[in-house]
Amino acid sequence: MQKARRLALLLPGGIALLLGLDAALLLLGLPAPVVTERLPDIHGGLLVLGFVGTMVAAERAVALRRGWGFSAPCALGAGAIALVSPAPIELGKGLLLAGTLALVGVYAALWRRQPSAWLAIQVLGAGAGAGAAVLWLAGAPVPMLLGWLVGFLVLTIAGERVELSRVGGADPSGAVGASWLLAGAVVAATLWPGAGHALLGASLLVLVAWLVRHDVARRTVRATGAPRFMAWCLLGGYVWLTVAGLVWLLLGQAHEGPAYDAVVHAVFLGFVLSMIMAHASVILPAVLRTPLPYHPSFYLPVVLLHASLALRLAVGDLRGLPWALQLGGALNIAAVLLFLVLAITSAVRARGVVGAQPTAVDVRPPSTVEATR
Protein backbone atom coordinates (compact mmCIF):
# COMPACT_ATOMS: atom_id res chain seq x y z
CA MET A 1 0.00 0.00 0.00
CA GLN A 2 2.83 2.39 0.88
CA LYS A 3 4.48 1.66 -2.46
CA ALA A 4 1.19 2.41 -4.26
CA ARG A 5 0.90 5.76 -2.47
CA ARG A 6 4.46 6.71 -3.39
CA LEU A 7 3.88 5.64 -6.99
CA ALA A 8 0.85 7.93 -7.03
CA LEU A 9 3.16 10.76 -5.93
CA LEU A 10 5.41 10.20 -8.95
CA LEU A 11 2.63 9.66 -11.48
CA PRO A 12 1.92 13.38 -12.09
CA GLY A 13 5.64 13.91 -12.67
CA GLY A 14 5.61 11.13 -15.25
CA ILE A 15 2.63 12.75 -16.98
CA ALA A 16 4.49 16.06 -16.94
CA LEU A 17 7.47 14.39 -18.62
CA LEU A 18 5.38 12.87 -21.41
CA LEU A 19 3.46 16.06 -22.08
CA GLY A 20 6.67 18.07 -21.90
CA LEU A 21 8.15 15.85 -24.61
CA ASP A 22 4.95 16.35 -26.60
CA ALA A 23 5.41 20.11 -26.25
CA ALA A 24 8.99 19.73 -27.49
CA LEU A 25 7.69 18.14 -30.69
CA LEU A 26 5.34 21.09 -31.18
CA LEU A 27 8.16 23.58 -30.65
CA LEU A 28 10.25 21.72 -33.22
CA GLY A 29 7.43 21.98 -35.74
CA LEU A 30 6.93 18.21 -35.78
CA PRO A 31 3.73 16.15 -35.49
CA ALA A 32 2.72 15.49 -31.88
CA PRO A 33 0.09 13.22 -30.27
CA VAL A 34 -1.44 16.06 -28.23
CA VAL A 35 -1.88 19.53 -29.70
CA THR A 36 -2.98 22.45 -27.52
CA GLU A 37 -2.16 26.14 -27.59
CA ARG A 38 -0.94 26.08 -24.00
CA LEU A 39 1.62 23.26 -24.18
CA PRO A 40 4.45 25.10 -26.00
CA ASP A 41 4.18 28.02 -23.56
CA ILE A 42 4.53 25.86 -20.45
CA HIS A 43 7.17 23.48 -21.84
CA GLY A 44 10.07 24.63 -19.65
CA GLY A 45 8.22 25.04 -16.38
CA LEU A 46 6.36 21.78 -16.90
CA LEU A 47 9.55 19.74 -17.31
CA VAL A 48 11.77 21.47 -14.75
CA LEU A 49 9.32 22.13 -11.91
CA GLY A 50 6.58 19.65 -12.80
CA PHE A 51 8.70 16.63 -13.73
CA VAL A 52 12.15 16.97 -12.14
CA GLY A 53 10.84 19.05 -9.24
CA THR A 54 8.35 16.34 -8.31
CA MET A 55 11.06 13.66 -8.44
CA VAL A 56 13.44 15.69 -6.26
CA ALA A 57 10.72 16.60 -3.76
CA ALA A 58 9.53 12.99 -3.47
CA GLU A 59 13.03 11.73 -2.68
CA ARG A 60 13.59 14.49 -0.12
CA ALA A 61 10.21 13.81 1.49
CA VAL A 62 11.07 10.13 1.86
CA ALA A 63 14.36 11.13 3.46
CA LEU A 64 12.59 13.45 5.94
CA ARG A 65 10.11 10.79 7.02
CA ARG A 66 7.49 13.33 8.09
CA GLY A 67 3.96 13.32 6.70
CA TRP A 68 3.90 17.04 5.99
CA GLY A 69 7.02 16.69 3.83
CA PHE A 70 4.98 14.97 1.14
CA SER A 71 3.08 18.22 0.58
CA ALA A 72 6.00 19.30 -1.61
CA PRO A 73 5.76 16.54 -4.27
CA CYS A 74 1.96 16.59 -4.01
CA ALA A 75 1.77 20.32 -4.75
CA LEU A 76 4.35 20.15 -7.54
CA GLY A 77 2.60 17.18 -9.15
CA ALA A 78 -0.80 18.86 -8.82
CA GLY A 79 0.66 22.02 -10.32
CA ALA A 80 1.91 20.06 -13.32
CA ILE A 81 -1.53 18.52 -13.87
CA ALA A 82 -3.24 21.90 -13.47
CA LEU A 83 -0.91 23.46 -16.03
CA VAL A 84 -1.98 21.01 -18.74
CA SER A 85 -5.66 21.06 -17.76
CA PRO A 86 -8.30 23.59 -18.88
CA ALA A 87 -8.00 25.28 -15.46
CA PRO A 88 -6.61 28.82 -15.32
CA ILE A 89 -2.86 28.69 -15.82
CA GLU A 90 -2.38 30.77 -12.66
CA LEU A 91 -3.70 27.83 -10.63
CA GLY A 92 -0.93 25.57 -11.91
CA LYS A 93 1.72 28.22 -11.35
CA GLY A 94 0.42 28.86 -7.85
CA LEU A 95 0.58 25.18 -6.96
CA LEU A 96 4.14 24.99 -8.29
CA LEU A 97 5.06 27.92 -6.09
CA ALA A 98 3.47 26.20 -3.08
CA GLY A 99 5.40 23.03 -3.91
CA THR A 100 8.76 24.79 -4.18
CA LEU A 101 8.18 26.63 -0.90
CA ALA A 102 7.27 23.33 0.76
CA LEU A 103 10.50 21.86 -0.65
CA VAL A 104 12.45 24.69 0.99
CA GLY A 105 10.71 23.72 4.22
CA VAL A 106 11.73 20.08 3.77
CA TYR A 107 15.35 21.10 3.31
CA ALA A 108 15.14 23.34 6.38
CA ALA A 109 13.95 20.37 8.44
CA LEU A 110 16.72 18.17 7.06
CA TRP A 111 19.22 20.93 7.88
CA ARG A 112 18.06 21.01 11.51
CA ARG A 113 18.56 17.26 11.65
CA GLN A 114 22.01 17.17 10.04
CA PRO A 115 23.70 20.40 8.85
CA SER A 116 26.23 19.80 6.08
CA ALA A 117 27.93 21.48 3.14
CA TRP A 118 26.09 19.40 0.55
CA LEU A 119 22.73 20.22 2.12
CA ALA A 120 23.57 23.94 2.18
CA ILE A 121 24.12 23.78 -1.58
CA GLN A 122 20.78 22.06 -2.11
CA VAL A 123 19.02 24.67 0.03
CA LEU A 124 20.36 27.30 -2.39
CA GLY A 125 18.97 25.21 -5.25
CA ALA A 126 15.53 24.95 -3.67
CA GLY A 127 15.56 28.73 -3.14
CA ALA A 128 16.30 29.21 -6.85
CA GLY A 129 13.39 26.92 -7.71
CA ALA A 130 11.06 28.97 -5.52
CA GLY A 131 12.38 32.15 -7.13
CA ALA A 132 11.58 30.78 -10.57
CA ALA A 133 8.05 29.90 -9.46
CA VAL A 134 7.50 33.39 -8.00
CA LEU A 135 8.65 35.10 -11.19
CA TRP A 136 6.55 32.81 -13.38
CA LEU A 137 3.43 33.42 -11.32
CA ALA A 138 4.14 37.16 -11.52
CA GLY A 139 4.04 36.95 -15.32
CA ALA A 140 7.76 36.93 -16.17
CA PRO A 141 8.53 35.27 -19.54
CA VAL A 142 10.18 31.85 -19.41
CA PRO A 143 13.53 33.10 -20.80
CA MET A 144 13.79 35.38 -17.77
CA LEU A 145 13.35 32.32 -15.54
CA LEU A 146 16.14 30.38 -17.21
CA GLY A 147 18.89 31.28 -14.76
CA TRP A 148 16.66 30.42 -11.80
CA LEU A 149 15.65 27.07 -13.30
CA VAL A 150 19.28 26.26 -14.08
CA GLY A 151 20.27 27.21 -10.54
CA PHE A 152 17.55 24.96 -9.09
CA LEU A 153 18.65 21.79 -10.83
CA VAL A 154 22.40 22.40 -11.08
CA LEU A 155 22.72 23.20 -7.38
CA THR A 156 20.47 20.30 -6.39
CA ILE A 157 22.58 17.84 -8.37
CA ALA A 158 25.85 19.46 -7.32
CA GLY A 159 24.88 19.01 -3.68
CA GLU A 160 24.46 15.27 -4.23
CA ARG A 161 27.85 15.00 -5.89
CA VAL A 162 29.58 17.12 -3.26
CA GLU A 163 28.21 14.83 -0.54
CA LEU A 164 29.74 11.81 -2.26
CA SER A 165 33.07 13.58 -2.83
CA ARG A 166 33.80 13.32 0.88
CA VAL A 167 34.61 9.66 0.21
CA GLY A 168 37.79 10.92 -1.45
CA GLY A 169 38.47 13.39 1.34
CA ALA A 170 37.65 16.51 -0.71
CA ASP A 171 37.22 19.83 1.10
CA PRO A 172 33.69 20.99 0.18
CA SER A 173 34.38 24.67 0.93
CA GLY A 174 35.33 25.34 -2.70
CA ALA A 175 32.05 23.88 -3.92
CA VAL A 176 30.07 25.86 -1.36
CA GLY A 177 31.78 29.07 -2.48
CA ALA A 178 31.13 28.28 -6.15
CA SER A 179 27.49 27.55 -5.32
CA TRP A 180 27.04 30.90 -3.57
CA LEU A 181 28.65 32.54 -6.59
CA LEU A 182 26.17 30.79 -8.88
CA ALA A 183 23.21 31.78 -6.68
CA GLY A 184 24.37 35.39 -6.71
CA ALA A 185 24.85 35.28 -10.47
CA VAL A 186 21.25 34.10 -10.92
CA VAL A 187 20.04 37.23 -9.14
CA ALA A 188 22.53 39.43 -11.02
CA ALA A 189 21.39 38.03 -14.39
CA THR A 190 17.83 39.10 -13.55
CA LEU A 191 18.78 42.62 -12.44
CA TRP A 192 21.66 43.33 -14.86
CA PRO A 193 21.24 40.90 -17.78
CA GLY A 194 24.41 41.79 -19.69
CA ALA A 195 27.08 41.42 -17.02
CA GLY A 196 24.91 39.06 -15.00
CA HIS A 197 24.77 36.37 -17.68
CA ALA A 198 28.54 36.52 -18.17
CA LEU A 199 28.91 36.03 -14.40
CA LEU A 200 26.39 33.20 -14.60
CA GLY A 201 28.51 31.46 -17.22
CA ALA A 202 31.69 31.97 -15.22
CA SER A 203 30.12 30.62 -12.03
CA LEU A 204 28.92 27.51 -13.85
CA LEU A 205 32.44 26.91 -15.11
CA VAL A 206 33.91 27.33 -11.61
CA LEU A 207 31.41 24.88 -10.12
CA VAL A 208 31.84 22.27 -12.83
CA ALA A 209 35.63 22.54 -12.53
CA TRP A 210 35.38 21.66 -8.83
CA LEU A 211 32.99 18.79 -9.54
CA VAL A 212 35.14 17.29 -12.28
CA ARG A 213 38.23 17.49 -10.11
CA HIS A 214 36.70 15.87 -7.02
CA ASP A 215 33.91 13.61 -8.31
CA VAL A 216 34.48 9.91 -7.69
CA ALA A 217 33.36 9.33 -11.28
CA ARG A 218 36.95 10.02 -12.35
CA ARG A 219 37.91 6.77 -10.58
CA THR A 220 34.80 4.66 -11.11
CA VAL A 221 34.91 5.24 -14.87
CA ARG A 222 37.67 2.61 -14.86
CA ALA A 223 35.42 0.12 -13.05
CA THR A 224 32.86 -2.20 -14.65
CA GLY A 225 29.08 -2.58 -14.75
CA ALA A 226 26.85 -0.02 -13.05
CA PRO A 227 29.60 2.13 -11.49
CA ARG A 228 31.22 2.63 -14.89
CA PHE A 229 27.86 3.42 -16.53
CA MET A 230 27.10 6.02 -13.89
CA ALA A 231 30.54 7.57 -14.26
CA TRP A 232 30.20 7.97 -18.02
CA CYS A 233 26.81 9.63 -17.58
CA LEU A 234 28.22 11.99 -14.98
CA LEU A 235 31.30 12.98 -16.96
CA GLY A 236 29.23 13.45 -20.12
CA GLY A 237 26.88 15.71 -18.18
CA TYR A 238 29.77 17.85 -16.99
CA VAL A 239 30.87 18.37 -20.59
CA TRP A 240 27.47 19.79 -21.53
CA LEU A 241 27.36 21.99 -18.43
CA THR A 242 30.72 23.38 -19.54
CA VAL A 243 29.23 24.15 -22.96
CA ALA A 244 26.38 26.10 -21.36
CA GLY A 245 28.79 28.04 -19.17
CA LEU A 246 30.96 29.00 -22.14
CA VAL A 247 27.96 30.17 -24.19
CA TRP A 248 26.80 32.45 -21.37
CA LEU A 249 30.31 33.69 -20.63
CA LEU A 250 31.15 34.51 -24.25
CA LEU A 251 27.76 35.56 -25.63
CA GLY A 252 25.98 36.90 -22.57
CA GLN A 253 22.23 37.25 -22.46
CA ALA A 254 20.20 35.25 -24.98
CA HIS A 255 16.39 35.14 -24.83
CA GLU A 256 15.93 33.38 -28.17
CA GLY A 257 17.78 31.95 -31.14
CA PRO A 258 20.64 29.46 -31.34
CA ALA A 259 22.48 30.64 -28.21
CA TYR A 260 19.34 30.32 -26.08
CA ASP A 261 18.56 26.90 -27.53
CA ALA A 262 22.13 25.77 -26.89
CA VAL A 263 22.11 26.80 -23.22
CA VAL A 264 18.67 25.35 -22.51
CA HIS A 265 19.36 21.96 -24.01
CA ALA A 266 23.00 21.67 -22.94
CA VAL A 267 21.85 22.09 -19.33
CA PHE A 268 18.49 20.32 -19.22
CA LEU A 269 19.17 17.53 -21.72
CA GLY A 270 22.94 17.11 -21.68
CA PHE A 271 23.50 17.66 -17.97
CA VAL A 272 20.25 17.06 -16.08
CA LEU A 273 19.00 14.06 -18.06
CA SER A 274 22.45 12.48 -17.98
CA MET A 275 22.37 12.78 -14.20
CA ILE A 276 18.87 11.31 -14.02
CA MET A 277 19.95 8.35 -16.14
CA ALA A 278 23.01 7.89 -13.95
CA HIS A 279 21.04 7.92 -10.71
CA ALA A 280 17.89 6.10 -11.84
CA SER A 281 19.08 2.86 -10.21
CA VAL A 282 19.29 4.73 -6.92
CA ILE A 283 16.30 7.09 -7.08
CA LEU A 284 13.66 4.43 -7.75
CA PRO A 285 14.70 2.16 -4.84
CA ALA A 286 14.92 5.22 -2.57
CA VAL A 287 11.37 6.36 -3.31
CA LEU A 288 9.47 3.18 -4.22
CA ARG A 289 11.68 0.51 -2.65
CA THR A 290 11.65 -1.20 -6.01
CA PRO A 291 14.99 -2.40 -7.38
CA LEU A 292 16.10 -1.13 -10.77
CA PRO A 293 19.08 -3.33 -11.70
CA TYR A 294 21.60 -1.97 -14.16
CA HIS A 295 21.65 -3.51 -17.64
CA PRO A 296 24.23 -2.85 -20.40
CA SER A 297 21.38 -1.80 -22.70
CA PHE A 298 21.16 1.42 -20.64
CA TYR A 299 24.09 2.70 -22.68
CA LEU A 300 21.92 2.84 -25.82
CA PRO A 301 19.72 5.80 -24.80
CA VAL A 302 22.70 7.58 -23.22
CA VAL A 303 24.74 7.39 -26.42
CA LEU A 304 21.71 8.39 -28.48
CA LEU A 305 21.04 11.37 -26.18
CA HIS A 306 24.57 12.75 -26.40
CA ALA A 307 24.99 12.10 -30.12
CA SER A 308 21.65 13.68 -31.02
CA LEU A 309 22.35 16.66 -28.76
CA ALA A 310 25.68 17.19 -30.50
CA LEU A 311 23.88 17.11 -33.85
CA ARG A 312 21.30 19.59 -32.61
CA LEU A 313 23.77 22.09 -31.17
CA ALA A 314 26.84 21.74 -33.39
CA VAL A 315 24.99 21.46 -36.71
CA GLY A 316 21.48 22.76 -36.05
CA ASP A 317 22.27 25.76 -33.82
CA LEU A 318 25.86 26.57 -34.77
CA ARG A 319 25.42 26.19 -38.52
CA GLY A 320 21.77 27.21 -38.65
CA LEU A 321 20.44 24.09 -40.38
CA PRO A 322 16.77 23.47 -39.49
CA TRP A 323 16.83 19.80 -40.49
CA ALA A 324 19.60 19.07 -37.98
CA LEU A 325 17.71 20.94 -35.28
CA GLN A 326 14.56 18.92 -35.91
CA LEU A 327 16.32 15.58 -36.32
CA GLY A 328 18.47 16.14 -33.25
CA GLY A 329 15.44 17.21 -31.21
CA ALA A 330 13.38 14.21 -32.32
CA LEU A 331 16.24 11.85 -31.41
CA ASN A 332 16.60 13.59 -28.03
CA ILE A 333 12.99 12.65 -27.33
CA ALA A 334 13.52 9.11 -28.62
CA ALA A 335 16.48 8.70 -26.23
CA VAL A 336 14.38 9.70 -23.22
CA LEU A 337 11.53 7.37 -24.19
CA LEU A 338 13.95 4.49 -24.86
CA PHE A 339 15.50 4.90 -21.42
CA LEU A 340 12.04 4.89 -19.82
CA VAL A 341 11.14 1.65 -21.60
CA LEU A 342 14.43 -0.03 -20.61
CA ALA A 343 14.17 1.15 -17.00
CA ILE A 344 10.58 -0.03 -16.62
CA THR A 345 11.47 -3.38 -18.19
CA SER A 346 14.41 -3.81 -15.80
CA ALA A 347 12.28 -2.92 -12.77
CA VAL A 348 9.46 -5.29 -13.78
CA ARG A 349 11.89 -8.16 -14.30
CA ALA A 350 13.55 -7.48 -10.96
CA ARG A 351 10.25 -7.79 -9.10
CA GLY A 352 10.20 -11.48 -9.92
CA VAL A 353 13.67 -12.11 -8.55
CA VAL A 354 13.75 -12.99 -4.86
CA GLY A 355 16.17 -10.77 -3.00
CA ALA A 356 16.99 -8.68 -6.08
CA GLN A 357 19.11 -5.70 -5.20
CA PRO A 358 20.03 -2.63 -7.25
CA THR A 359 23.59 -2.96 -8.48
CA ALA A 360 24.43 0.72 -8.72
CA VAL A 361 26.76 2.46 -6.32
CA ASP A 362 24.66 4.01 -3.56
CA VAL A 363 25.30 7.73 -3.87
CA ARG A 364 22.43 9.01 -1.77
CA PRO A 365 22.99 11.33 1.18
CA PRO A 366 22.85 9.62 4.58
CA SER A 367 19.36 10.97 5.30
CA THR A 368 17.99 9.24 2.20
CA VAL A 369 19.87 5.99 2.83
CA GLU A 370 18.49 5.79 6.38
CA ALA A 371 14.98 6.40 5.13
CA THR A 372 15.09 3.42 2.81
CA ARG A 373 16.54 0.88 5.19
The per-residue pLDDT for 353 is: 59
The span from the CA of 242 to the CA of 266, in Å, is 9
Cβ neighbours of 341 (radius 10 Å): 12
- Per-residue model confidence as pLDDT tens digits over 268-297: 999 999 999 998 888 777 777 778 888 999
What are the extents of the domains in the chain? 1-113
With b for 16 or more beta-carbon neighbours within 10 A and e for fewer, the 346-370 pattern comes to bbeebeeeeeeebbbbebbbebbee
The per-residue pLDDT for 167 is: 67
- Per-residue model confidence as pLDDT tens digits over 91-136: 999 999 999 999 999 999 999 999 999 999 999 999 999 999 999 9
With b for 16 or more beta-carbon neighbours within 10 A and e for fewer, the 3-36 pattern comes to eeebeebbebbbbbbbbbbbbbbbbbeeebeeee
Segment-wise mean pLDDT, segments of 10 residues, the chain, 373 residues: 74 95 95 92 95 94 91 96 95 98 96 93 97 96 94 96 80 94 96 93 97 91 93 96 96 88 96 94 77 92 97 93 96 97 89 49 40 34
The per-residue pLDDT for 170 is: 80
The model's pTM is: 0.91
Cα–Cα distances in Å, from 371 out to 59, 289, 339?
Answer: 10, 10, 27
